Amino acid sequence: MEKNTFVPTHIAIQLDGNRRWGKEHTGNAYDGHREGAKTLKKICDHCKKIGVKILTVYALSIENLERSKEELDIHFDLHKRYIKKHILDSDEFVKNKIKFKVLGRKELLPKDEQELIRKAEEKTKGFSDLIFNVCLCYNGKDEIVDAVKDIIKEGYKPEEITRDIIKQHIYTSDIPPPDMMIKTGMNPEKRISDFLLYDIGYTELFFTSTYWPDFIPEELDKLINEFKNRERRFGK
Looking at the annotation, which residues are catalytic? 16, 64
Asked if the bond preceding 188 is cis, omega within 30° of 0, the reply is yes
205: nearest Cα among 233, 221, 185, 227: 227
The Cα–Cα gap between 61 and 104 comes to 9
Residue 231 one-letter amino acid: E
The angle subtended at Cα 222 by Cα 218 and Cα 225, nearest 5°, is: 135
Identify which of 148, 207, 198, 200 has the alpha carbon closest to the alpha carbon of residue 178: 200
Write the DSSP symbol of residue 131: E
